[in-house]
Chain A
Amino acid sequence: QVQLVESGGGVVQPGRSLRLSCAASGFTFSSYAMHWVRQAPGKGLELVAVISYDGSNKYYADSVKGRFTISRENSKTTLYLQMNSLRIEDTAVYYCARHLFGGIDYWGQGTLVTVSS
């Protein structure tokens, strides 16, 4: 069965960096585009970044453009999100998600990132 397991979250000071990972299993990872979606406490869902199946195309939300980088390592079936210059407003649960049928079909359980001084 499809499994997406995020890791790397934690508490970090404003301006610092953090790298999230998403280990995928149960499907042919290299055939699917993948997303990072976040949810601030008590708020709705926000698409953060997406990467095509081969890593050739990447798109970012305006709120993270220039600070976050999405990447993937198909040989390791792992998705990454490098987050630099973190801000307090980046505090959220970050979900890794698979793209199929023209949208997201599977979600990971999420990892919490807290940006606080």
Chain B
Amino acid sequence: QSVLTQPPSASGTPGQRVTISCSGSSSNIGSNYVFWYQQLPGTAPKLLIYRNNQRPSGVPDRFSGSKSGTSASLAISGLRSEDEADYYCATWDDTLRGVFGGGTKLTVL
């Protein structure tokens, strides 16, 4: 049982917009930045979104993040087959302690 709650699965068709939610509490998401990671099959996770809604260079603007209160969301627009992966949210406090969501497996139909 992860501290941050994500739906175990999500799906969409090519070109569609998909959102993945991440629910926490006032002690984690409510008071810290949210990060999102993409993990393609058989590879290490990759940073997708940092500090709630910032994209590292090289991440397409099809990916966007938002946060409101104790919840956060990752949105993927213009869905592509290569977006099929596991997605994780995470948050850290000022003492470097962090928690991950349980992960969401995204299927592109």
Chain A residues close to B by CB (< 8 Å) = 33, 35, 44-47, 50, 52, 57, 59, 95, 99, 101-110
Contact = CB atoms under 8 A, between A and B. Distances in A.
Contacts of B45: 45, 95, 107
B100 interface: yes
Interface of B: 2, 32-33, 35, 37, 43-47, 50-51, 54, 56, 88, 90-92, 95-103
8 contacts: A50-B97, A59-B95, A59-B97, A99-B92, A103-B51, A103-B98, A109-B43, A110-B44
Given A44-B88, A59-B95, A103 B100 contact: no
A-B complex: 8 closest residue pairs judged by Cβ atoms? A103-B35, A44-B103, A107-B44, A45-B100, A50-B96, A102-B33, A101-B50, A103-B92
A104 B54 CA distance: 13
A45 B37 CA distance: 10
A102 B103 contact: no
A101 B52 CA distance: 11
